[in-house]
Amino acid sequence: MRRARRTPGRSTAGSAPWRPNWRTASTPCCSASRPSPPSRAPLRCGWTSSPTVCTPSTPAARRRRRSVPCSPGPLSSSRRISRSSPPVRSTSARETVAELRAPAGDHAVALAPGGRWVRAYERDTLPEVGAGQLPLRLRERGVYLITGGLGGIGMTLADYLVRTCRARLVLTGLDAVPPTGLGAAVPDGDPGLAERAERIRKLEALGGEVLAVRCDAADRERMAALFEEIDRRFGRLDGVVHAAGVFETRRAFRSLAETGREDCERRLRPKVRGTLMLAEFLRGRRLDFVLMQSSLSSHLGGLGFYAYTAGNAYMDAFAERHRGDDIPWMTVNWDGWIFRERDDDTPHASVVSPSFASPDFGVVAEIAIRPSEGAEIYGRLMNLATPHQVLVSTADFDARIDQWVRGAQPGPAAGPAPEPAGAAWADPVAAQVARAWTDLLGAEELHPDSNFFALGGDSLLGVSLAHRLSQEFDTVLSAITLFENPTITQMAKEITRATAQDQDHQGEA
């Protein structure tokens, strides 16, 4: 379902323009506006084999499409302002309905009196941090709150802040925090608690000061007590990172049918109510930044991450709405992370799925963001003079957007199964899977161990694939199950297992 909403604002010259907001089920707020200062352009994003940053700026009203050229390089980003039709006086219900009924094409559209606006992405460049210099938004011995700071991404930022400016940190989380004080012992029998204690000890050994607090970011009483303790202990607060979220790796993927009220409330609580609580207790404070940790899912959609995607879209829209206020709201939309530096390091679960860290998902682990890369991106974010929304993509972002749109289009008619290199398809099920891959991905030279993701597959193409194979084999296949079996051989085995199970159930009936 798609819905357009127009939000009126001031019309006085020089004041903030009114912004029509366009939302879809898998994208966050997309806004268009009449002319506004360049400093108000909000969105940044990017791509390369190592993480880059690029920026889809909110379209400022210009008569022609404007592209900002930039030189290639690491951590580049993009901006494009694009209007696809002449100015019109108003947007009628008929025009809106016509847009909704049109074939899938543009990723996000805003209909406004200024015309029909589409969101697009190009590269731009984030400023490097000079040798021996602090990023613009950091200060020596600064005091920084990181909600969700005891998790993997939060700890990566904590480590960066301590190494960069000997920061004093307030780290919160839902899990138990280790005891503090000289000689404090961690109780036996809790490996997670012991790991958190070791991480904090390492931060302190690097010269940092750490206050770890068990605190629900969405709980008003706990947040009030937290800010009282920050003021009592440090007397100030210089910056905030909102990284609180619920993302259990074992429950990462959930189909729409499995996404119930309880799951939505759990995942939306830190993203929505946690954001509102943070804004309430930050009111009136002078801060150098508030960085919202969001996800690419709010731009690319999130198969199996429906509540999580919705929560991130809310955070994006909230920061965009309040970016012109006294508090410098910033947003970073991360791609997937994996918490190891080299392929031969001991695997740790990624923030996407435990399968993503396995050999079968090597291609996904290969392009995931690693801690050292994430730390470099943090540094450049903190060196931005003007608050922005920053998207971090480890693969070509334009191609991912194209696949998002193309995933809704019907594929070509099925042809003969492509021949694998050096051998015929011994398994007819594998041959049929390969034929579907060829139609959806355009791949021709396939092998039994070809990987769906390595060939350009994504969540939306996975939905199309699951639907097609379910019809062809007269069974019910979850796209999530197929993602956990990303090679042709694995998919064929899963289909064989599912069809055999269906036959057993029919026999019992």
Q: Report whether pLDDT(408) > 70.
A: no
Which of 479, 476, 483 is closest to 497 using CA atoms? 476
d(CA 92, CA 197): 59
**Of the spans 62-66, 178-182, 430-434, which averages the highest pLDDT?**
430-434
User: Cβ(392)–Cβ(334) under 8 Å?
Assistant: yes
Alpha-carbon separation of residue 47 from 43, 165, 337, 371, 386 (angstroms): 14, 28, 14, 17, 21
- Kindly tell me if the per-residue pLDDT of 359 is higher than 90: no
pLDDT band at 30 (very low <50, low <70, confident <90, very high): very low
Residue with tokens 């399968």: 355
Give me the phi and psi of 377, to 5 degrees please: -65, -40
DSSP SS3 for 460: helix
Q: How confident is the model at residue 253 (pLDDT cuts 50, 70, 90)?
A: low
Say if residue 1's pLDDT is above 70: no
pLDDT 10s digits, 278-300 = 999 999 999 999 999 999 888 88
| pLDDT for 203 | 95
Per-residue pLDDT at 478:
73
- 212's enclosing H/E stretch is strand 209-214
Q: Which domains does the chain have, with CATH numbers?
A: 1-35+83-118 (no CATH), 147-403 (3.40.50.720), 412-508 (1.10.1200.10)
Strand partners of residue 333 = 294, 391
* Global pTM exceeds 0.85: no
* Token code pair at residue 266: 């759990």
pLDDT of residue 216: 95
Strand duo 19-24 + 3-7: pairing:
antiparallel
The 8-class DSSP code of residue 176 comes to: P
The answer, yes or no, to whether residue 108 has pLDDT greater than 60, is yes
Predicted confidence (pLDDT) at residue 228 exceeds the cutoff of 50:
yes
CB 85 within 8 A of CB 118: no
Q: Is the pLDDT of residue 421 over 70?
A: no
Query: Sorting pLDDT into bands at 50, 70 and 90, what band is 28?
Result: very low
Determine the Cα–Cα distance for residues 455 and 395; give it in Å rounded to an integer. 12
Band (10; pLDDT cuts 50, 70, 90): very low
Average confidence score pLDDT of the chain: 73
Angle subtended at Cα 28 by Cα 318 and Cα 103, rounded to the nearest 5 degrees: 155
Could you report the per-residue pLDDT of 135-150, keeping only the tens digit for each?
999 999 999 999 999 9
Q: Are 167 and 157 a contacting pair, CB within 8 Å?
A: no
Please say if the pLDDT value at position 206 is more than 60: yes
DSSP annotation of 250 reads G
pLDDT confidence of residue 191: 81
Rg (CA), the chain: 24
Whether pLDDT at 469 is above 80? yes
Highest mean pLDDT among 12-16, 134-138, 252-256, 295-299: 134-138
Among 51-55, 397-401, 479-483, the minimum mean pLDDT is found in 51-55
- For the chain, the first-to-last Cα distance in angstroms comes to 38
The residue that leads in pLDDT, 141 or 456, is: 141
pLDDT: which is higher, 178 or 68: 178
Instruction: Say yes or no to pLDDT of 432 above 70.
Output: yes
pLDDT of the residue at 186: 66
Q: How confident is the model at residue 375 (pLDDT cuts 50, 70, 90)?
A: very high
- Supply the DSSP string of 343-383, one letter for each residue: TTSPP---SS-GGGGSGGGHHHHHHSBPHHHHHHHHHHHTT
CB 377, CB 384: distance < 8 Å:
no
Cβ proximity of 91 and 111 under 8 Å: yes
Interatomic CA distance for residues 403 and 303, integer angstroms:
14
Task: Look at residue 426 in the predicted model and tell me its pLDDT.
Answer: 84
